[in-house]
Amino acid sequence: MSPAPEGKVALITGSGRNGGMGQATALRLAEAGAHVVITDLARDRPELRQDQTHGLGDDLVAMQVFAAEVERLHGGRCLAMALDVTDQAQAELVVDTTVAELGSLDIVFNNAGATTGVGLFVDQTEQQWELSWQVNAMGTRRMTLLAIPIMAAQGGGVIINNISVGGIVADAGYGAYSATKFAVSAITKTVAKEHGGDGIRCVGVCPGVIDTGMAVANRRLVAQLEGITDDQAWDLMVDSIPSGRAGEADDVARLVTFLASPAADFINGALIPIDGAMTP
């Protein structure tokens, strides 16, 4: 049995950010022989940004350039499309286009997420809770619901949800965020139990401290709680990791690529921490 998802079609949400887990996963899956669809907002949503330096995949042209480079490097197809996972019509269009252009939908990596729910419980507004819920939980639900009938009809597929350790361990300062991520943990296990018989696997990856743009919110929160600078907060976060370093986007990408492969055929419904032993 091949250890790689060769010839499969993978759709990755939230994969328009340079240096992010989505782009790293696109590269790894393409290297393994998969055809890849990268998607992201392709427009600015300021309410999702923690600060002006944290881009959110709002440049479709840049995504298309990245897709062309993936094709040049690895030879398979790579498409770039705009996708706001809170938009049902856009989600349907992306899935329909993927199947029409590439012939199937074998792998979905629900990577799109918002950190708007990071902050002290008493400080979080209803709008922040709602936005966090719509992106993290309902966005994952939406893409999963669209994928299930296609995968079931073709005899199977793999849905991988990027949950974070915030979906398996609650901590101070992550109330709205963790609530949505615990919901994704439940979605993951439910889909695995209800659709394992259709040949569909649904698993969750739970990254800890990963050195990407999304870590901005985490270090800001730690700085606020501890009364220190952002740089000092980052050092404190890294020092708390038994493995002695922060994770990298490619660490997550390699795990996702393995889980998407036939080598992981009996892994279903699992929530897999990738955090350097940070969680208990």
DSSP string, 77-132: -EEEEE--TT-HHHHHHHHHHHHHHHS---EEEE-----TT-B-GGG--HHHHHHH
Maximum Cα–Cα distance for the chain, whole Å?
A: 54
Contacts of residue 92, Cβ cutoff 8 Å, sequence gap at least 6: 146
Closest CA to 173 of 215, 222, 135: 222
Residue carrying structure tokens 């659709």: 195
Active-site residue identified among 66, 174, 177, 234: 177
- End-to-end CA distance of the chain: give it in Å, rounded: 35
Cα separation of 194 and 147, whole Å? Answer: 14
Please say if 174 is a catalytic residue: no
- Residues 174, 118 contacting (CB under 8 angstroms): yes
Cα separation of 164 and 205, whole Å? Answer: 7
What residues are annotated to the active site? 177
